[in-house]
Chain A
């Protein structure tokens, strides 16, 4: 079955710097790759996603890149702000309806003012 590895497990950056989180997956049939942000005491919230037919997607300060050949994808946050501090999860799925989302183990991002 699918296995998603995520690193680093913790990441500390200064406000205004960039943060990069990387994930690798094992199932070449996976075609949907979302990223979730989870704040303390809350459920995960989708922040950006990408499908296998594109290599990059950007939404304001957040971008995701996908390399299907190498089976890895990354989350890039630019101009980080203290409110970006949270745990970020990558995930991978085969189906169009997130029928089998396999999550990574999470990255705790801390942005220091």
Chain B
């Protein structure tokens, strides 16, 4: 079955500390992988995406993610968290074919403490 697992429901990180959000996927085809962020009352904003090539991808707001095929993982990282990063983060998997629906994980809520 195709699925995305985000093992951490809620993470609290001190401002300035590093962050890693975990994502594991199960997908039958070559995966396209995404991380989206959602602030309260807002839609989802794309942070970064991986299609092929370099397995370390850079995104907006200083985020990066590394694709590890052997581990079926696509973990999101940030070296130094800012208070404005507090939000809900969703990992998603899709495919190359146009019209393929993205499958989302249940999300990880990030809280940032001062």
Whether A and B are associated in the same complex: the answer reads no
Residues of A that sit less than 8 Å from B by CB: none
Residues of B that sit less than 8 Å from A by CB: none
